[in-house]
């Protein structure tokens, strides 16, 4: 018999949801299928802990993966609990760890004023290291080393440990770069994203009194999207939960699509081994999609082996069939999407904002964008040039970070001569050499030069350059004072006024006004931050900006069709979804075709895409596609053949079927390797070794002259089988 307090937090929940809400003590695994109301379960579970079980809010920690999800959870809790939610810790892994390190990191030798280096800062840092080591970054891209470093940190492997196990030239070179990268971060009093987790784990291991303090504070832990955790994140959770073991994790292995971010699906699949007295609750009732969409999704995902058996069901109607359409090429594909959207808007009173077009890779958005622009149809691109990566925004953020931390060398290097103030590369090089001889940090050397402490008899730089350095140092000191005395908005205004950046950006051009508008948007961010969050100061603003993710900028209220990758669409829902590029080599991606584990992830990605749709799902593929500079003739995706025919509708005969009827006639008229109509001669034959700039080396499997062109089927090493048009593909004999 439910008590009155329990009824308050279980009203409207189904049996499985109610079970998850009321299971308070001990480890709990909630397997939450898409659209099964998991956020509601988490929110009501926290409400029950506080009001039903009298657990103080400050004894609860709820962790999720995106700022958007954390913000939504916090807002729903405030609506449900009012002031009862005060003191509750809700946030992302990175934001919670940043808060822990700023408060207690000194116990592990971490400066609480540390800066957070974002993606672009990390690339700049590795690029400088490669330059110092005289390594050609065209042959060895900075991001390849960053990926290696990130993978090591996600496994809690230090530079020393990595070097001890390095084998071969690549790993040995990467070990050196990892060591220098970490040393430079330390010199700059900075951490990267992976450090936030790794250093918190190190803090808890080395300072047991700090760990015990947080264990005593957080008696109850909830982790959302648990299938996306990596080794370091899972280790962190286990450390916090090992005393009281009141750990609730919510996830779905069928939606694990971030292995490239080092997410480890085994954390969820093996959770029962780590917590043997575990309770498991399955949320299988879907409230989002029609049964037809769910059945199509189930038919694709059921082929995977690394999963827990579950079957989604819904009380919603069966709904319309899944539309499967074959286009001739990517332009025809985009035109079909536009026509069908126009029909939905006209005939079914659908808003543009109710529709999403999803694709496997960002490169596929170009023809879609072009067609949307030409048609005048409103759209919003999720995953384009991110706001915080635009040059003018990066410049101002670098200034603000320098205001807090004058020893941030990457930020210093970015803005020392921006706007141009007469501190050229020669002056910088001379100042750096002098700093090295004196054993000074670069900023300390600049201050010495500005103050005239380097010696007048043998000046380091020319008088004009010294004056420029003096002006820059005065600006940094002014900003430093403002950063410690004023709210972020005032600091930003001082910066724009005294740095000359406003005049630098507003150069009288339309582009200049666009850049200025971006800075005004950053100003709005600073103002909004102060209104939404208690006045934590400039450090908190910069931390919030550093941790923002692309999906956090998504605005569901804007009335435009959403163009988005399948990865970025996770967590969203739309009444109507189009998935384009449903072809072998694209979806599934060519990189995954020969890897069973990666192929399972491709299935999970398609499953995620299908289950974003509420009322209608369209699957589109092209007979011929121009991508990466080559014309490719791909087969329809294997995932399409997984869907039972009775669930689908194909509105018209596609070009592949039409052309196949003409193939016999073409073959009859091409009895030798030259066609009478075009005079084209066959260039490639089975067994030929060939090379393609995008796909690498391969072997010709088949070649044929078709409609005035030569179509070559090639098996590429590690890229799978491709059918290419010789007229477009830059194919060479190897």
Give the residue, 640 or 144, on which the prediction is more confident: 640
Burial (CB count within 10 angstroms: exposed 0-12, middle 13-18, buried 19+), residue 508: exposed
Scanning the structure block, which residue is given the tokens 């060398």?
409
pLDDT at 61 over 90: yes
What is the model's pLDDT at position 239?
98
Pairing of strands 28-32, 246-251: parallel
Per cent of the chain over pLDDT 70 is 88
Tokens 């009732």 — which residue? 285
What CATH topology corresponds to 387-547?
PCRA; domain 4 (1.10.486)
Q: Is cis: bond before 419, omega within 30 of 0?
A: yes
- How much is the pLDDT for 661? 42
Rounded to an integer, the average pLDDT of 524-553 is 67
3 state SS of 439? coil
Distance CA 645, CA 346 (A): 28
In this model, does residue 667 exceed pLDDT 50? no
Question: What is the second-level CATH architecture of the domain 115-188?
Answer: Orthogonal Bundle (1.10)
**How is residue 373 written in tokens?**
């622009």
What is the per-residue pLDDT across 346-370, written as a single tens digit (0 to 9) for each? Answer: 998 899 999 999 999 877 887 898 8
Record the pTM: 0.77
265 has a pLDDT exceeding 90 = yes
For 556-576, give the DSSP string: TTS-SEEEEETTTTTT--EEE
CA dist., res. 28 & res. 17, Å (int): 13
Give me the pLDDT at residue 531, please.
55
Query: Over 70: is that where the pLDDT of 79 sits?
Result: yes
The pLDDT of residue 1 is above 50: no
Confidence of residue 553 (pLDDT cuts 50, 70, 90): low
Task: State phi, psi for 25 to the nearest 5 degrees.
Answer: -100, 145
Question: What is the predicted pLDDT for the residue at 658?
Answer: 54
Calculate mean pLDDT across residues 686-698: 79
pLDDT tens for residues 278-292? 999 999 999 999 999
> What is residue 182's three-state secondary structure?
helix
The pLDDT score that the predictor gives to residue 228 is 94
* Residue where the block lists tokens 């002056």: 427
What are the angstrom distances between the C-alpha of 723 and each of 113, 268, 331, 386, 519? 55, 39, 19, 35, 47
Among 146-160, 172-186, 331-345, 411-425, the least confident range: 411-425
Mean pLDDT to the nearest integer, 413-435 = 89
What letter does residue 42 receive in the DSSP assignment?
H
How confident is the model over 165-198, as pLDDT tens digits?
A: 999 898 999 999 999 999 999 999 999 999 999 9
Q: Which band of pLDDT confidence, cut at 50, 70 and 90, is reported for residue 550?
A: low
Q: Could you tell me the sign of the dihedral formed by the alpha carbons of 697, 702, 704, 706, in that order?
A: negative
For residue 293, the model assigns a pLDDT of 98
Task: Judge: domain 15-107+197-285, CATH 3.90.1150.10.
Answer: no
Average pLDDT, the chain: 87
The neighbour count for residue 284, using CB atoms within 10 Å, is 15
Domain map (residue ranges) of the chain: 15-107+197-285, 115-188, 300-386+554-668, 387-547, 688-733
Q: What is the pLDDT of residues 9-48, one digit of tens each?
A: 788 899 999 999 999 999 999 999 999 999 999 999 999 9
- Please tell me the chain's helix, strand, coil percentages from 3-state DSSP, rounded to the nearest 5: 50, 15, 30
In whole angstroms, give the CA distance from residue 484 to residue 537: 8
* Residues carrying an active site annotation: 38-39, 224-225, 255, 612
Higher pLDDT, 157 or 259: 157
Q: What mean pLDDT do residues 260-278 have? A: 90
User: Who wins on pLDDT, 508 or 381?
Assistant: 381
Structure tokens at 274: 């780590």
Distance CA 478, CA 439 (A): 26
More confident residue, 417 or 732: 417
**Fold match flag (15-107+197-285 vs 300-386+554-668):** yes
163 contacts: CB under 8 Å, gap ≥ 6: 172, 175, 176, 178, 179
**CA distances in angstroms from 354 to 438, 573, 577, 671, listed in the order given:** 63, 9, 9, 53
Q: Which of 179-188, 648-657, 684-693 has the lowest mean pLDDT?
A: 648-657
Show the tokens assigned to 686: 């089975």
Record: fold of 300-386+554-668: Rossmann fold (3.40.50)
**Phi/psi class of residue 708: alpha, beta or left (left: φ > 0; alpha: ψ in -120 to 50)?**
left
What is the sign, positive or negative, of the torsion defined by CA atoms of 9, 13, 14, 17?
negative
Question: What pLDDT score was predicted for residue 386?
Answer: 59
pLDDT of residue 695: 74
- 548/582: higher pLDDT: 582
């Amino acid at each position: 018999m439910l008590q009155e307090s329990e009824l308050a937090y279980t009203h409207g929940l189904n049996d499985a949801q109610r079970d998850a809400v009321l299971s308070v003590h001990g480890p709990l695994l909630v397997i939450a299928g898409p659209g099964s109301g998991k956020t509601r379960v988490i929110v009501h579970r926290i409400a029950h802990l506080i009001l039903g079980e009298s657990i103080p809010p400050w004894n609860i920690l709820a962790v999720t993966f995106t700022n958007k999800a954390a913000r939504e959870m916090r807002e729903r809790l405030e609506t449900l609990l009012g002031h009862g939610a005060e003191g509750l810790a809700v946030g992302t892994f990175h934001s919670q760890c940043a808060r822990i390190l700023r408060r207690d990191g000194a116990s592990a030798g971490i400066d609480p004023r540390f800066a957070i280096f974002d993606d672009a800062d990390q690339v700049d840092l590795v690029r400088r290291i490669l330059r110092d080591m005289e390594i050609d970054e065209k042959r060895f891209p900075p991001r390849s080393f960053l990926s290696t470093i990130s993978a090591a940190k996600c496994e809690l492997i230090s530079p020393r440990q990595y070097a001890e196990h390095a084998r071969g030239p690549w790993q040995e070179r990467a070990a050196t770069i990892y060591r220098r990268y970490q040393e430079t971060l330390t010199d700059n009093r900075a951490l990267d994203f992976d450090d936030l987790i790794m250093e918190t784990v190190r803090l808890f291991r080395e300072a047991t009194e700090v760990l015990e303090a947080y264990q005593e504070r957080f008696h109850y832990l909830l982790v959302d999207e648990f299938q996306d955790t990596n080794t370091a994140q899972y280790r962190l959770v286990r450390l916090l939960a090992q005393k009281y073991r009141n750990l609730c994790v919510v996830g779905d292995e069928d939606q694990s699509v971030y292995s490239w971010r080092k997410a480890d699906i085994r954390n969820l699949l093996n959770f029962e081994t780590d917590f043997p007295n575990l309770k498991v609750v399955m949320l299988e009732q879907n409230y989002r999609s029609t049964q037809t969409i769910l059945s199509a999704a189930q038919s694709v995902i059921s082929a995977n082996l690394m999963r827990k058996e579950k079957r989604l069901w819904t009380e919603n109607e069966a709904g319309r069939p899944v539309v499967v359409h074959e286009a001739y090429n990517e332009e025809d594909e985009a035109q079909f999407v536009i026509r069908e959207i126009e029909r939905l808007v006209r005939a079914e009173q659908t808003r543009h904002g109710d529709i999403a077009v999803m694709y496997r890779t960002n490169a596929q958005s170009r023809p879609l964008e072009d067609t949307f622009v030409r048609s005048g149809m409103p759209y919003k691109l999720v995953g384009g040039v991110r706001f915080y990566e635009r040059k003018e925004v990066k410049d101002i953020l670098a200034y603000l970070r320098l205001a807090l931390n004058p020893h941030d060398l990457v930020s210093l290097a970015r803005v020392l001569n921006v706007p141009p103030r007469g501190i050229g590369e020669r002056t910088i090089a001379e100042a750096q050499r002098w700093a090295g001889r004196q054993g000074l940090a670069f900023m300390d050397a600049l201050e010495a030069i500005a103050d005239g402490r380097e010696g007048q008899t043998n000046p380091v730089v020319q008088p004009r350059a010294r004056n420029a350095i003096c002006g820059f140092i005065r600006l940094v000191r002014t900003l430093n004072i403002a950063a410690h005395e004023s709210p972020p908005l005032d600091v930003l205004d001082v910066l724009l006024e005294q740095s000359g950046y406003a005049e630098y950006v507003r150069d009288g051009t339309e582009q200049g006004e666009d850049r200025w508008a971006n800075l005004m948007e950053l100003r709005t961010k600073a103002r909004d931050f102060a209104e939404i969050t208690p006045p934590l100061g400039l450090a908190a603003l910069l931390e919030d900006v550093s941790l923002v993710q692309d999906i956090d900028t998504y605005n569901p209220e804007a009335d435009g069709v959403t163009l988005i990758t399948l990865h970025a669409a996770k967590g969203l829902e739309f009444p109507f979804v189009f998935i384009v590029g449903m072809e072998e080599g694209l979806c599934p991606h060519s990189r995954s075709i020969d890897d069973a584990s990666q192929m399972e992830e491709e299935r999970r990605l398609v499953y995620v895409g299908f289950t974003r749709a509420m009322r209608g799902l369209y699957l589109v593929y092209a007979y011929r596609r121009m991508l990466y500079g080559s014309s490719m003739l791909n087969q329809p995706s294997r995932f399409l053949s997984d869907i039972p025919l009775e669930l689908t509708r194909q509105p018209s005969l596609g070009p592949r079927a039409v052309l196949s009827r003409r193939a016999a006639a073409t073959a009859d008229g091409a009895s030798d390797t030259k066609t009478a109509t075009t005079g084209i001669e066959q260039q490639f034959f089975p067994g030929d070794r060939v090379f393609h700039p995008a796909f690498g080396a391969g072997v010709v499997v088949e070649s044929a002259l078709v409609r005035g062109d030569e179509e070559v089927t090639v098996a590429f090493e590690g890229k799978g089988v491709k059918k290419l048009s010789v007229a477009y593909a830059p194919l060479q004999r190897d």
